[in-house]
Amino acid sequence: MSQTRAWCVCVPARNEADRLATLLGALADQDVEGPVPVVIALNNTTDRSAAVATEAARRHGSRLALTLDDHVFPPDLAHAGSARARAMMLGADRLARRPEAVLISTDADTRPPVDWISANLAAVAAGADLVGGRLVLDEAEPLGEHAAAVWALWDLYWAQVRAIEDAIDPSPPDPAPRHGDHTGASLAITVAAWTAAGGVPAIPSGEDRALVAAARAVGHRLSHPLSVWTRVSPRQEGRAAGGMAEDMRRLQVAATTGAVPQVPDFDHWRTRARWRRDQRPRLGQAALLSAEAALPPMPRDLPLDRLITPGVAA
């Protein structure tokens, strides 16, 4: 696929010697024209990650245009927020901070499909300022049967929540059908939106969601097209506090012990969607996001294994 907008893939990594060759191979296989620009920001790394990345770039020849950065953060900043902030800052610098250019964040343990970059760029061309990619567990690293069943229940639950939201409070920039993921494993953002949001906050965890919230608060448009997705590892030992690996550990515990996660009943989501719809004209987008974040957590009163397709009433 040809593209007219400049872009760069941004990858924070710590001690990922076992993963980087797979990621770089998947990036080399993308269906976009020309060299694939990639920034890998190694942080506090003590393994062979730099050598592996260099060898992979050499193996793929001119297909990959790799910028490799190796930085040591002080202990109080040695976390996911600082690492992703640096990776995306370096990507923005490589793009000369042109407002229309696109930063595409991913993680070292992903394996994106061949159209991942082109699907992200197509969504931006269609009007999105931020594009979340759906997370799909990598079939090359299968889960046990019970854990896979719990993951499938979570997928079903969130699909039903989105159906409620789309029926009661649809978002023109994020039309159905859509998924709901917008994490650092697959997140495209224009340099203009990244700049307006103040960049990635240097917080220990949740930096990706905080970036999205800040960009949306100043009017930038988020979309979740089904065409944008990536494979993620179901590993249980990750690099970031509060990251995907912790989710996978909780899922494995639920599968092993038979403990059933409790989730908010769909009626709570209907109430929340009506509230959001009714408050938006009065508050505006920024104040609405702030007000919603301040609401008390929804009760978790529905066992996840008792899902039924909910009726949706406006």
pLDDT, greater one: 233 or 29: 29
Q: Is the per-residue pLDDT at 107 higher than 60?
A: yes
* Architecture label for domain 7-144+173-252: Alpha-Beta Complex (3.90)
Residues 307 and 160 sit within 8 Å (Cβ to Cβ): yes
Angstrom distance (rounded) from CA 225 to CA 228: 6
Helices (H), the chain: 20-28, 49-59, 80-94, 116-125, 145-168, 191-196, 207-217, 244-257, 266-293
Asked whether the bond before 74 is cis by omega within 30 degrees of 0, the reply is: no
Q: Is the per-residue pLDDT at 104 higher than 60?
A: yes
Q: Is the per-residue pLDDT at 312 higher than 60?
A: no
The interaxial angle of helices 244-257 and 145-168, nearest 10 deg, is: 120
The pTM of the full predicted model, rounded to 2 decimals, is 0.91
pLDDT per residue as tens digits for the range 108-164: 999 999 999 999 999 999 999 999 999 999 989 877 777 788 888 889 999 999 999
Residues 38 and 5 sit within 8 Å (Cβ to Cβ): no
Instruction: Tell me what percent of the residues of the chain surpass a pLDDT of 90.
Output: 79
Cβ atoms within 10 Å of 156's Cβ, excluding its own: 13
Taking all residues of the chain, what is their mean pLDDT, rounded to a whole number?
91
pLDDT given at position 145: 76
Task: Provide the pLDDT confidence category of residue 305 given band limits of 50, 70 and 90.
Answer: confident
pLDDT given at position 125: 98
Residues 6+ apart with CB under 8 A from 291: 279, 283
pLDDT, greater one: 237 or 165: 165
Amino acid identity of 277? R
Strands 186-190 and 130-132, how do they pair? antiparallel
pLDDT per residue as tens digits for the range 229-281: 999 988 656 555 555 556 666 666 666 677 788 899 999 999 999 999 999 99
End-to-end CA distance of the chain: 41
pLDDT, mean of residues 55-63: 97
Q: Is the per-residue pLDDT at 52 higher than 60?
A: yes
pLDDT given at position 218: 95
Write out the two tokens for 285.
Answer: 């987008």
pLDDT given at position 234: 82
- Domain boundaries, given as residue ranges, for the chain: 7-144+173-252
Q: What are phi and psi of 299, to 5 degrees?
A: -60, 145
pLDDT given at position 71: 97
Residues 6+ apart with CB under 8 A from 251: 147, 150, 151, 154
Angstrom distance (rounded) from CA 106 to CA 165: 27
Q: Which of 151-165, 174-188, 231-245, 300-314 has the highest mean pLDDT?
A: 174-188
pLDDT given at position 307: 78
Q: What are phi and psi of 282, to 5 degrees?
A: -85, -40
